[in-house]
A and B are shown apart, each in its own frame.
Chain A
Amino acid sequence: MNDNEKAIFELLKNEADRVELISTLELLNEDLFKVNTLLEIKNPRFNKAIEAIFPKNWEEIEDKTQIQKIILDLIEKVKSIRTVTITLAFHPSQEFTRRIASILSNPDEQVILQISVKPEIIGGIILTLDGKYIDLSLEKKLEDAFVNHRDEISALFK
């Protein structure tokens, strides 16, 4: 993964971003042999990052199939980015989502978050990644605490 690719992947913070990027790249692939210049990218979030990868003047490129290969390779890489499903008790801000993504990502591997909100978990986070279910919610902690200290709690009422 080069720096340009990394810059694009860092923009992907959720599943919607992934879908949007893939559709943008597929559109580029369709236009590759029709026009001579890189079309204006409608999604401003990916504009700079994509421009950094592809030259503006496509006429300079002798073999467009190389560009096509880059696009298709990029699509495959985007598709293969690991998805982590998280559950939160509140609606996260974009900044907070990026923060979570950065914690969950490795230097060589980006993650995409699929977020759901359930206030009943009270707080904390529940993660599902690579088939693993990790419950770091306050609900779980409270339940564990009540199970572990049930006798003490019961003693309070006797």
Chain B
Amino acid sequence: MNQTSAILIVSHSHDLALGMSKILRSLNPDVRIEYCGGNNRGGLGTDPQAIASALQNLTSNVTECYVLADMGSARFCVQEILDARPRGGIGRINLLTGPFFESAIELVTKLKANNESGLGGIAETINLGSEKLGADKSQTITRNVYLPFSDGLHARPAAGLVQFFSQFDAEISLQGVDAKSILELLKLQILQPQQVELEISGTDADQVVSGLEEYLKQL
């Protein structure tokens, strides 16, 4: 039998992970079930290295992998590892975010019915490789602003500007770099007063624009 789907169970407890994998295997002997349980000292906890190598091993052998993590650091570690993986060349990995045990039962039963397309109904499945956190781009404002710093944007004025920008939630880029990062601003090597382009996205984008005007005026 050519296995294309696998399930990885990650639990704080070795016994829980083992018990659950036994139940899942009994329900669907055709799906490959692996587990990581406990920390690397045999106690309750999470072992990031074991999870990483289990995922590595699975994704090189199957085309589709589902991960179930019980809580807290187990879930966090899986997300971390998936985020850190280079994209492309690996099979699909889904971290199921629904109830730990129930999602697993439903998953194996549905896989047995060979009804993978129906998975969306099981739990909110997220493909972490493509998950992007950030401000809503639909509220993007672009502005050209004149920076009046007579000696250019060196450490002192850059720190002031960064301090100003960092009061806001909005994502702000100045000449294409992160305006809340002092090093990024310094790397622009702005050596004299000049016009720069700002791109501001977020719900408080308007406040950034009006606040900046005030800020630059009182310098």
State yes or no: do A and B come from one complex: no
Interface residues of A (CB under 8 A from B): none
Interface residues of B (CB under 8 A from A): none
